[in-house]
Amino acid sequence: MNLKNLNAFIALVQCKSFTAAADALCVTQPTISKQLRQLEDALEVKLFIRQGHHLELTPAGQVLYEKGEEILYKTKQLKLELNEFKNHITGKIKLGLPPTVGSFFFGPLLAKFGVMYPGIQIQLIEDGAEALTKQVLDGHVDVAVAMLPTHSMLNFHEFICDDLYFISLKPSSWQAREVVKLEDITEEEFVLFNENFMLSTQLASAFSLRKRPLKVNARSSNWQFLVALVQAGRGCTVLPDTIAKQLDDSIFHKAFLDEDGQKWHLGLIWSQQSFISNALMAWLEYCKIHLPTLSK
């Protein structure tokens, strides 16, 4: 069984369409169709029932999907472990992390990577996603976390596409609202991340398109400080669901920001032009396996 064909099948199940699967794997739609046909021929079973544009797994397809993810995971894990024995990889990686991201996703990941690759030194560079994107393009940072979509000269690996929430202090005039639109909150005063954070840039652009001023009372790179400012009555804020879940519901009201294009869409980014060292390759492969993937 060809692992590339298996990977295409799993992408097709998860994306629910040939077009989306092709985009996710950076191949053409006919390529996905060919890989699926080759996989079905090799296994001598039908994997999908096609009803117009709708794809439904056959019983055999369901079994393959459940087992196939495990096969791909173990194959990638085996390659990583064999590479370590074969190459004894050493080197240094400059890793750019926005302050809001590190504590949620990369603490345990970095610790376990260090155990697996003791010869690789990781230098952490903290900055906003917008600034880190520029540093990757300039070659000052090897790999970073940034908002997607990103620059056309960068490769990326998406790992989260999170909803945004409008956060206000209780008692709040918004307490009856579980969902808000940008037009609803244009008169509010805000406390937001620093201007070099792409989440702030994204919000400012959305207000500008509506020809409304964004009223900002304070900025910080620290989400806990922003929450403290909201609690002190300095204004409202906008936070990703991953962070909003940490807040005390008895103190804060959270309303889903229902607006096209307003997401916390993050991925690892690295240059298409720069040399990929063995150390960086090991980090990228490790992240693709172990970094949690959360999409909404």
Locate the domains of the chain by residue range. Answer: 3-85, 89-159+265-295, 163-264
Give residue for tokens 């739609």: 29
User: Which CATH number is 163-264 given?
Assistant: 3.40.190.10
The two tokens of residue 259 are 């607006």
| Region of residue 211 (phi > 0: left; psi between -120 and 50: alpha; otherwise: beta) | left
> Comparing 3-85 with 163-264, is the CATH topology the same?
no
What's the fold here for domain 3-85? Arc Repressor Mutant, subunit A (1.10.10)
Buried b / exposed e over 267-293, threshold 16 CB at 10 Å, is bbbbbeeeeebbbbebbbebbeebbee
**Residue 27: helix, strand or coil by DSSP?**
coil
CA distances in angstroms from 233 to 204, 237, 295, listed in the order given: 21, 11, 32
Segment 211-237 shows an average pLDDT of 95
| Closest CA relative to residue 168, chosen from 178, 158, 159, 155 | 178
Q: Is the pLDDT of residue 114 over 80?
A: yes
| Closest CA relative to residue 263, chosen from 194, 161, 191 | 161
Q: Is the pLDDT of residue 57 over 60?
A: yes
- Looking at residue 293, its pLDDT comes to 58
Rounded to two decimals, the pTM is 0.60
- Looking at residue 84, its pLDDT comes to 57
221 with 193: CB under 8 angstroms? yes
| Closest CA relative to residue 279, chosen from 83, 82, 103, 125 | 83
User: Which CATH number is 89-159+265-295 given?
Assistant: 3.40.190.10
Q: CA angle 29-37-11, nearest 5°?
A: 55
CA gap 274, 277 in Å, rounded: 9
193 with 222: CB under 8 angstroms? no
Q: How confident is the model at residue 281 (pLDDT cuts 50, 70, 90)?
A: very high
CA gap 88, 81 in Å, rounded: 10
Q: Is the pLDDT of residue 86 over 70?
A: no
Segment 236-262 shows an average pLDDT of 91
CA distances in angstroms from 190 to 14, 88, 169, 216, listed in the order given: 37, 50, 12, 5
pLDDT tens per residue across span 164-203: 999 999 998 999 899 999 999 999 999 999 988 888 888 9
**Residue 68: helix, strand or coil by DSSP?**
helix
